[in-house]
Amino acid sequence: MDKINHEVFKNLCVVSAPSGAGKTSLIKKICSSEKISVCVSETTRKPRKGEINGTDYIFIDEKEFLLRVKKEIYIEHALVHGNYYGTSIDSVSQLLNKDKVVILEIDYQGAEIIKIRFPLSRHIFVLPPSLKILEKRLRERGTDTEDVILKRLENAKIEISKAQHYDYILVNDDFQLAEKKLLSYVLDTDMTIDEKNRKEPLIDKDF
Ligand code: 5GP
């Protein structure tokens, strides 16, 4: 991977958010653009109702995951909310070779690794309008048990504190507006290295 011409990594785009901020729905929307594709991660989390193996995630057990870590299959991996998640080198390389912008929908720990390995990558953090609204959204989606919801809400505070290290911060209040902004940030492949090195993220003006 590191032998590839590094210019290609300007097409790599990390999107992070606390659970329930609406990141996955926003990404699903903008992926109708043929210029964008999303890298499917591998996880030890059990599938939620309606999730499809190979589309939402590649679901594997912990033994297999740790074996793959040992074999250095992943470009980054992390333990998030008690489950392992990882991005395989092969899946990213294949998508980058198709000359598309490749979205990595990963947490802040993975984002930190990607930033160090690929400084040309672009990093976007999606915030909910408030923690109260985040809790409401997590409960309304009805996919997680109470224990899981509480753990994710607790972790949300840590995750939100990392937003300042991203290139862009986007608040998902009005969904259509957020979709438009996310699309423009994701496609901003001309962002210069100086812009990437700025101390403060670009925060959308409605924040
Ligand atoms: P969920 O279980 O709600 O789908 O995802 C939980 C968290 O894991 C989210 O913050 C999501 O972005 C993150 N995540 C998903 N795939 C990966 C991955 O491949 N690597 C890392 N580091 N985080 C991931």
pLDDT surpassing 70 at residue 129: yes
Indicate the range of 11-25, 59-73, 118-132, 183-197 predicted with least confidence: 183-197
**98 falls in which pLDDT band (50, 70, 90)?**
confident
- pLDDT tens digits for 3-44? 556 778 899 999 999 999 999 999 999 998 889 999 999 999
189 Cα: distance to centroid of ligand 1 (angstroms): 23
pLDDT at 206 over 50: no
Average pLDDT score over residue span 92-114: 94
* Proportion of the chain above pLDDT 70, given as a percent: 89
Residue 106 beta carbon below 6 angstroms from any ligand 1 atom? yes
* pLDDT reported for residue 99: 83
- Ligand 1 nearest atom to the CA of residue 113, by list position: 22
Mutation pick for ligand 1 pocket among 39, 41, 58, 123 (CB with most ligand atoms within 8 Å)? 41
Residues 6 or more apart whose Cβ sits within 8 Å of residue 114 = 12, 14, 75, 76, 104, 106, 121, 123
Mean residue pLDDT of the chain comes to 90
The encoded tokens of residue 141 equal: 């989606």
Q: What would the mean pLDDT of 91-104 be, rounded to a whole number?
A: 92
> Atom 19 (ligand 1): residue with closest C-alpha?
86
Q: What is the pLDDT of residues 148-166, one digit of tens each?
A: 999 999 999 999 999 999 9
Say yes or no: CB of residue 86 within 6 Å of ligand 1.
yes
